[in-house]
Amino acid sequence: MLGIALLGSGRMAHVYGPKINNHPDLRLVSVFNPNESSAEKAVERYGGTASSDLGAVLADPAVDAVIIATPTNTHLEYVEAAAKAGKPIYCEKPLDLTLERVDRCLAALKANPVPFMLGFNRRFDPDVSALQAAVRRGEIGPLTFLMSWSREPSPPPIEYVKRSGGYFVDATIHDIDLICWIAGERPEEVYATGSCLFDPAIGEAGDADATMTVLKMPSGCIAHVNNSRSCAYGFDQRLEAFGRDGMIQTTNQRDDNLIRWDGTRTEAREPLKHFFLERYDASFHHALDEFSRAIAEGRPPSAAQEDGRTALAIALACERSRLEGKAIRPDY
Amino acid sequence: MLGIALLGSGRMAHVYGPKINNHPDLRLVSVFNPNESSAEKAVERYGGTASSDLGAVLADPAVDAVIIATPTNTHLEYVEAAAKAGKPIYCEKPLDLTLERVDRCLAALKANPVPFMLGFNRRFDPDVSALQAAVRRGEIGPLTFLMSWSREPSPPPIEYVKRSGGYFVDATIHDIDLICWIAGERPEEVYATGSCLFDPAIGEAGDADATMTVLKMPSGCIAHVNNSRSCAYGFDQRLEAFGRDGMIQTTNQRDDNLIRWDGTRTEAREPLKHFFLERYDASFHHALDEFSRAIAEGRPPSAAQEDGRTALAIALACERSRLEGKAIRPDY
Amino acid sequence: MLGIALLGSGRMAHVYGPKINNHPDLRLVSVFNPNESSAEKAVERYGGTASSDLGAVLADPAVDAVIIATPTNTHLEYVEAAAKAGKPIYCEKPLDLTLERVDRCLAALKANPVPFMLGFNRRFDPDVSALQAAVRRGEIGPLTFLMSWSREPSPPPIEYVKRSGGYFVDATIHDIDLICWIAGERPEEVYATGSCLFDPAIGEAGDADATMTVLKMPSGCIAHVNNSRSCAYGFDQRLEAFGRDGMIQTTNQRDDNLIRWDGTRTEAREPLKHFFLERYDASFHHALDEFSRAIAEGRPPSAAQEDGRTALAIALACERSRLEGKAIRPDY
Amino acid sequence: MLGIALLGSGRMAHVYGPKINNHPDLRLVSVFNPNESSAEKAVERYGGTASSDLGAVLADPAVDAVIIATPTNTHLEYVEAAAKAGKPIYCEKPLDLTLERVDRCLAALKANPVPFMLGFNRRFDPDVSALQAAVRRGEIGPLTFLMSWSREPSPPPIEYVKRSGGYFVDATIHDIDLICWIAGERPEEVYATGSCLFDPAIGEAGDADATMTVLKMPSGCIAHVNNSRSCAYGFDQRLEAFGRDGMIQTTNQRDDNLIRWDGTRTEAREPLKHFFLERYDASFHHALDEFSRAIAEGRPPSAAQEDGRTALAIALACERSRLEGKAIRPDY
């Protein structure tokens, strides 16, 4: 049984709270928020003790590990503190918005080497991991193309967009991580282009809400990502791996699996699951499971800090490519 | 090149007219109708000579074969005449509505053995014949179940229903023929039940407009047919062959193969092809092709008069079963 | 929190054990088996106290309700005892194999009216219940046909078959219950036929391993069931509701949702989930949830003893129909 | 009835020969090849008169129009000659491999304005044209993304590759034409990258056999093409149009539409149609139909010489982008 301190009590903390409680090997010990009344609200729903004193939380011997689900700009400080306290860390993605600050995280973890896992939850979705395993065991031979679709139901509030680090760092980073993880290599060059088609405020803020990205791998495999901040039929999430010997695709998901036929449409399914909380619900459970097992088994968890740095370097190269109109080599 | 006399100039004649003209080995020589002005209208569209004199038509040396597309109650007379004249015969289904009259057809063909083919066109649909071939070559092992769906877009005029011989003889007979042809055997016992759910006039006429039929085969294979005179989404035509080693299904067809996603439905296809002329368009061509090749190759065509008798005997047993509420052994 | 006594420690008890433990409102208090060492094995895995003394178990005030997961021939005795003890009962299906003994259960429940639920778990499968809800709210208008497929991966041991009450009572009873529940009515007449195609020992025991059943409803809706004790591609479970205004189908399930393309097959999915424990895993949880909520809300649970009697009467009529070769009116 | 002179008697001429003969409004008058014995072989199969004298062919009053199906490097010469002779022209794509020579074609057609159609046959595929029509009538709102897959079964002979103008000019040009035609606009900038993964000789010749292309449209719509010279499961041809209000996709095609289930795979279809002659068979007929109707109706055919120039300019920009590693503005 692993005693957990949950850092943060905002949206992502409310994703992890119930998952911690439903996991047979995890127990919520405390919820930290500098604003203690916010922590108390989470404690009311998920149990544990509320605290605004991080030092006390990390000093608590009942706390075996921390889950960092706070705003991105606080990750560095909390990773440093938790690492110093010797507590294994599960940290929401992205690690940070700049390579300079990510490198400070990596240095902190090198100085105090605790088990560390980055919340690239999509790797732990059963369909995604089944595709990755099939590709890695050579089921379709060497990869020719690897394609990822990620289209969100509707644009987030402009305030969210402004502090998100840009669409590539905020969203494409998931597709980028999956592509590197599935392909087993990282791109030597990327090209990205974007448009603002849905919320003019996003364009005014210098960001895009519809992008396409091409990633050229050392093996010759070429990857593609398309991201849209709007999608009429729900949260469209697809992967297509095309190799020398065949192709494997994932399927989209709905709340209801019925097939409907009527006078206007046949073989119709309902719209897709609404957004990532619904679509990737199981993946958060499996991610925590990987974290807990890796600690129990004394091995590094699957999505490490270096994976976070790689994905960020690529996402930043995408953003540069979009702005400069040319292919960019990521700064690994 | 086979010179064809088309007997009849009604609905089915207008199906065969263009198919004769588009077939490289067939040539329309004459169109016969006791009402010569009706024959003339067909001739205007498809060529040939109009005639109300059957004797003259059959005596014409340019006529190498006849296609009988007249009302069912005239089939016997025309089969007898054409057989006597030594002309190969393609006759629309059903051969007749009673076994007594069908047996007279069979006797006429025995007395004057000309090549004879019954218009069980669905056997010649590419998907149906691919399924039959796969089953016959043992792809799924011995059959356990064989299922056929045939749901029509809307009830026909009550006058048509009244002279159709009943729903089993009019429509189920197609499913019955396919089942016997695919299974390679004929049922030893059938059970059928029906309801009148769409047009009360059909019920008042003693017929049903929604039926289910069970056919028990000597091998132990059990077949199922469901027929409906109404279907909101078009002409639903499916076959499912379930054998010891697997299953093979046909798919429905549409004019447009696009897949549509929007805010209300995903992966949606348009409604099905409207009715049999649209769905089985190609099958009429392939059926005439079989007729013409069989004559050229000096072998009996695929759907013989005996197949017609078998299917009628089964359809009549279905009707008796529906009326008597018990399983019936067909009168082969 | 509902304290549960689990009666039985065989196969079905091992289905319910983990579900009880995973349910937030249920707590396993005791496991009863006349053979106490068997009960002890279940207790080692799921907790609670093992006992071979039913009286003591039922007298325990910590026991709020019982789950009967014992062999069918003991259901009557345990239902009577639990009802007398005033404990709410969840009883595995079928209630019993004869109407006479089922009526004794009903009498016992009338004399001691405790909340009672029969384990027709398939009603609680999310896809099945979504289809039922869509049909009941009129989404496709009045039903024309209702079809159910239930094909098992391989025949059970002949000893199981011999004490199962026959294929209709053992397996078709699930399809029958779903049909009555979805259609909202019960058949006035049924016809069934069967073959022995997979295990000759089943035929020698007088049973069938491949059956088709037709159920004629008072509304005119006609239902169909096909059951097979063998299926090459897994546990095939489908429902098709065809109504005046459209059609709704459920889909089959697999462990892995990937779509595979290679040199021999395209758009291929892996075989289906193996059998009912895998396919209907979630339904057992939802069934226990319905049981626990109904008790909490003071209302009768969804699948009542009368539903069990109805389904058994229909299954027995199917068996009679198969043996007598004619349609049979169930003995409600 | 339009008398046709077919210029060329190689592979593409053998595509057009049967289509001319099957078209009710076209008649093959002559087949031209500088090598008369090659023309004679075509004439033996499709009729008409063989000739190695282009002047005589074009002077023949029975020739109402020409179809140019000769090697690409002869197109310019034959277009100039046919235009001077006042004959309507249907010319296989590409018009030529350089913009300079294409501009000479355009000048010749400006000097002698005859009806001219370029063989962008895929526009005339029923599924492609249905998708284009749905997008153009606004069914999914303004386009966000437009994606095209074109994966060939296996690499062509290296000699073909060497004189093909490169993969973009040889193959991507079809996808490019469809994208411009469906989107109703042409890209302001393109980016392309490629690998050599299948035939090293292709790489040695400076070409790629797996490419991805991004096309940025003035409206903000972003288009994607992926092309592969190898595909294990047949000729993979897909289009996906994603707009503000929904998505429309085309489906792949097979010879056999059966769905197969067995112990290793379920819902499986057979591999795709082999290559373009099989997949786009109908489109050649519809393309000739458009040509013949446009002449009859006195209007310009759908795929004009300017469309050919646009597509070539884009394909050449793709090639430059691949070689220079940066986005390129096409030279319209």
Interchain CB distance below 8 Å, A265 and B261: no
> Hey, what amino acid is at C89?
I
Domain identity same for A187 and A311: yes
CA dist., res. D202 & res. D197, Å (int): 9
Any long-range contacts for C99-105 (C-beta under 8 Å, 24+ apart)?
A: C99/C309, C99/C312, C99/C313, C99/C316, C99/C331, C101/C76, C102/C305, C102/C308, C102/C309, C102/C312, C103/C309, C104/C76, C104/C80, C105/C75, C105/C76, C105/C79, C105/C80, C105/C305
Chain A hits for C261, CB-CB cut-off 8 Å, are 246-249
Q: What is the mean pLDDT of residues C113-118?
A: 97
Interchain CB distance below 8 Å, B131 and D258: yes
Residue C54 lies in a domain: yes
Domain identity same for C219 and C105: no
Interchain CB distance below 8 Å, C266 and D232: no
| ipTM summary value | 0.96
Residue C293 lies in a domain: no
Q: Which residues of C touch A (CB under 8 A)?
A: 126-127, 130-131, 134, 139-140, 245-251, 256-263
Q: What is the 3-state secondary structure (H, E, C) of D151-210?
A: ECCCCCCHHHHHCCCCHHHHHHHHHHHHHHHHHCCCCCEEEEEEECCCCHHHHHCCCCCE
Could you report the per-residue pLDDT of B34-66, keeping only the tens digit for each? 999 999 999 999 999 999 999 999 999 999 999
Q: What is the mean pLDDT of residues D112-137?
A: 97
Q: Which of A210, A220, A244 sits opposite D195 (nearest CB)?
A: A220
Domain identity same for D91 and D132: no
Chain C hits for D266, CB-CB cut-off 8 Å, are 233-234, 252, 254, 268-272
What integer pLDDT is reported at residue D52 of this predicted model? 97
The two tokens of residue A325 are: 């109109």
Q: Are A250 and A131 in contact (CB under 8 A)?
A: yes
Q: Which residues of D touch B (CB under 8 A)?
A: 126-127, 130-131, 134, 139-140, 245-251, 256-263
Strands (E), A33-115: 49-51, 65-68, 89-91
CA dist., res. D277 & res. A314, Å (int): 41
Q: Is D185 left (phi over 0), alpha (psi -120 to 50) or beta?
A: beta
Q: Which of C145, C243, C245 sits opposite B226 (nearest CB)?
A: C145
Residue D330 lies in a domain: no
Domain identity same for D256 and D272: yes
Interchain CB distance below 8 Å, C197 and B144: yes
Instruction: Please list the residues that pair with A206 across neighbouring strands.
Output: none
Confidence of residue B239 (pLDDT cuts 50, 70, 90): very high
Q: What is the mean pLDDT of residues C244-256?
A: 97
**Main-chain dihedrals φ then ψ at residue A71, nearest 5 degrees:** -55, 150
Residue D331 lies in a domain: no
What integer pLDDT is reported at residue A303 of this predicted model? 93
Could you report the per-residue pLDDT of D96-107, keeping only the tens digit for each? 999 999 999 999
Q: Where are the alpha helices (DSSP H) in chain C?
A: 11-22, 36-46, 54-59, 75-84, 99-111, 126-136, 158-162, 167, 173-183, 200-204, 276-279, 281-297, 305-324
What integer pLDDT is reported at residue D151 of this predicted model? 98
Instruction: Please list the residues that pair with A91 across neighbouring strands.
Output: A68, A118
Chain B closest-CA separation from residue A242 CA (Å)? 21
Say which residue the tokens 């799924």 belong to. Answer: B140
Residue D324: CB atoms within 10 Å: 11
What integer pLDDT is reported at residue C255 of this predicted model? 93
Q: Are D171 and D211 in contact (CB under 8 A)?
A: no
Residue A330 lies in a domain: no
What integer pLDDT is reported at residue A29 of this predicted model? 98
Chain B hits for A273, CB-CB cut-off 8 Å, are none
Which of D80, D114, D148 is a domain's end point?
Answer: D114
Could you tell me which chains touch chain D, where touching means 3 or more CB pairs under 8 A? Answer: A, B, C
If you compute the radius of gyration of chain B from its CA atoms, what whole number of angstroms results? Answer: 20
Domain identity same for C46 and C173: no
Q: Where are the alpha helices (DSSP H) in B220-280?
A: 276-279
Domain identity same for C61 and C198: no
Domain that holds residue A30: 2-114
Interchain CB distance below 8 Å, B327 and C193: yes
Q: Which of C126, C130, C259 sits opposite A249 (nearest CB)?
A: C259
Domain identity same for D190 and D252: yes
The mean of the pLDDT values for chain C is 97
Mutation target among A128, A144, A253, A258 for the C interface, most CBs of C within 10 A? A258
Helix (H, G, I), strand (E, B) or coil at A190: strand
Interchain CB distance below 8 Å, B195 and C221: yes
Q: Which of B193, B197, B236 sits opposite C216 (nearest CB)?
A: B193
Interchain CB distance below 8 Å, D265 and C268: yes
Chain D hits for B246, CB-CB cut-off 8 Å, are 260-263
Q: For chain C, how long is the longest CA-to-CA vector?
A: 66
Scanning every residue of chain C, which has its alpha carbon at the shortest distance from the alpha carbon of D257? C266
Scanning every residue of chain C, which has its alpha carbon at the shortest distance from the alpha carbon of B242? C231
Residue A84: CB atoms within 10 Å: 13
Interchain CB distance below 8 Å, D259 and B249: yes
Instruction: Please list the residues that pair with C133 across neighbouring strands.
Output: none
Could you report the per-residue pLDDT of A160-190, keeping only the tens digit for each? 999 999 999 999 999 999 999 999 999 999 9
H or E stretch covering B175:
helix B173-183
CA dist., res. A205 & res. C206, Å (int): 77
The two tokens of residue C266 are: 């395209």
Confidence of residue B315 (pLDDT cuts 50, 70, 90): very high
Q: Which of D147, D221, D245 sits opposite A232 (nearest CB)?
A: D245
Number of domains in chain B: 2
Q: What percent of chain C has pLDDT over 70?
A: 100
Q: What is the 3-state secondary structure (H, E, C) of C25-72?
A: CEEEEEEECCCHHHHHHHHHHHCCEEECCHHHHHHCCCCCEEEECCCH
The mean of the pLDDT values for chain B is 97
Chain C closest-CA separation from residue D251 CA (Å)? 11
What integer pLDDT is reported at residue A74 of this predicted model? 96
Domain identity same for B126 and B236: yes
Interchain CB distance below 8 Å, A214 and D212: yes
Which CATH number goes with the domain that contains C109? 3.40.50.720
Q: Are C33 and C5 in contact (CB under 8 A)?
A: no
As to burial, measured by CB atoms within 10 angstroms (0-12 exposed, 13-18 middle, 19+ buried), residue D11 is exposed
Residue A299 lies in a domain: no
Which of B53, B82, B114 is a domain's end point?
Answer: B114
Domain identity same for A16 and A136: no
Q: Are D29 and D86 in contact (CB under 8 A)?
A: no
Interchain CB distance below 8 Å, C261 and A246: yes
Interface size B-D, in CB pairs within 8 Å, comes to: 67
Domain identity same for A242 and A312: yes
Chain B hits for A264, CB-CB cut-off 8 Å, are 271
The two tokens of residue A41 are: 């609200």
Q: Which of D197, D232, D325 sits opposite A245 (nearest CB)?
A: D232
Could you report the per-residue pLDDT of B132-151, keeping only the tens digit for each? 999 999 999 999 999 999 99
Q: Which residues of B touch D (CB under 8 A)?
A: 126-127, 130-131, 134, 140, 245-251, 256-263
What integer pLDDT is reported at residue D316 of this predicted model? 98
The mean of the pLDDT values for chain D is 97
Q: Which of A254, A267, A271 sits opposite B264 (nearest CB)?
A: A271
Which CATH number goes with the domain that contains D320? 3.30.360.10
The mean of the pLDDT values for chain A is 97
Interchain CB distance below 8 Å, C266 and D233: yes
Domain identity same for D51 and D152: no
Helix (H, G, I), strand (E, B) or coil at C136: helix
CA dist., res. D51 & res. D71, Å (int): 17
Interchain CB distance below 8 Å, A266 and B263: no
If you compute the radius of gyration of chain C from its CA atoms, what whole number of angstroms results? Answer: 20
Interchain CB distance below 8 Å, A271 and B254: no
Helix (H, G, I), strand (E, B) or coil at A60: coil
Choose among C220, C199, C219, C186: nearest CA to C308.
C186
Chain B closest-CA separation from residue C108 CA (Å)? 37
What integer pLDDT is reported at residue C129 of this predicted model? 97
Instruction: Please list the residues that pair with D222 across neighbouring strands.
Output: D145, D216
Scanning every residue of chain A, which has its alpha carbon at the shortest distance from the alpha carbon of B234? A263
Q: What percent of chain D has pLDDT over 70?
A: 100
Which of C48, C79, C114 is a domain's end point?
Answer: C114
Q: What is the mean pLDDT of residues D147-166?
A: 96
Residue D305 lies in a domain: yes
If you compute the radius of gyration of chain A from its CA atoms, what whole number of angstroms results? Answer: 20
Instruction: Please list the residues that pair with B145 across neighbouring strands.
Output: B222, B242
Chain A hits for C257, CB-CB cut-off 8 Å, are 126-127, 130, 250-251
Chain C closest-CA separation from residue B132 CA (Å)? 19
Q: Which of C194, C245, C325 sits opposite B327 (nearest CB)?
A: C325
Chain B hits for D247, CB-CB cut-off 8 Å, are 260-262
Q: Which of A232, A244, A326 sits opposite D230 (nearest CB)?
A: A244
Domain identity same for B235 and B307: yes
Contacts of A330 (CB under 8 A, 6+ apart): A186, A187, A189, A190, A310, A313, A314, A316, A317
Q: Which residues of B touch C (CB under 8 A)?
A: 140, 142, 144-145, 147, 151, 189, 191, 193-198, 210-212, 214, 216, 220-222, 224, 226, 228, 230-233, 236, 242-247, 325-327
CA dist., res. C75 & res. C89, Å (int): 11
Residue B332 lies in a domain: no
Interface size B-C, in CB pairs within 8 Å, comes to: 113
Could you tell me which chains touch chain A, where touching means 3 or more CB pairs under 8 A? Answer: B, C, D
pLDDT along chain A (332 residues), means of 10: 96 94 94 96 96 97 98 96 98 95 97 97 97 98 98 97 96 98 98 98 98 98 98 98 98 96 98 96 96 96 95 98 96 94
Scanning every residue of chain D, which has its alpha carbon at the shortest distance from the alpha carbon of B264? D246
